[in-house]
Amino acid sequence: MANMNNAAKVSEFLDKAKVFYFLTTDGDQPKGRPFSFHLLEDDTLYFGCGTFKDVYKQLINNPKVEILAMADGDFLRYDGTMKEVKDELLLEKTREMMPDIMAMYDKNGWTMALFYLENGKAEIRGVMEQKEAFEV
């Protein structure tokens, strides 16, 4: 991961993990769910979810989120505040990455919300020690 910006480090880790866990709150109840979509564009790491989903409603009510992932015996914690973006070029790239899912969204009249984590902080740890901590 040398010579990469911090968003690229997180993206590479998520690529290795394949599935990561997105943690929000529903009132006072923690909620977690598996995600796999992420998009690195212009040194910013974007995520997406349907605006009809509970996770989106939870993010609107409390935009603080944490992402957890594990790969190659290391784990990643990445937290920040969700900042939604409206960008047709990013949405088109999302369509290219997930054509089947986006076709299903179109068929059902669903909308994909794209967002990044503002004031993000990440740490990569081994089971016994911290390897790296940085702002994203």
Instruction: Give the domain ranges of the chain.
Output: 6-135
What count of other Cβ atoms lies within 10 Å of the Cβ of residue 124? Answer: 20
User: What is the pLDDT confidence band of residue 23, given thresholds at 50, 70 and 90?
Assistant: very high
Cα–Cα separations (whole angstroms), residue 38 to 91, 95, 117, 128, 130? 12, 12, 12, 28, 24
Report residue 129's pLDDT band, with 50, 70 and 90 as the boundaries.
confident
> Do β-strands 29-35 and 74-85 pair in parallel, antiparallel, or remain unpaired?
unpaired
Domain 6-135 coded CATH 1.10.260.40 = no
The reported pLDDT for the residue numbered 1 is 46
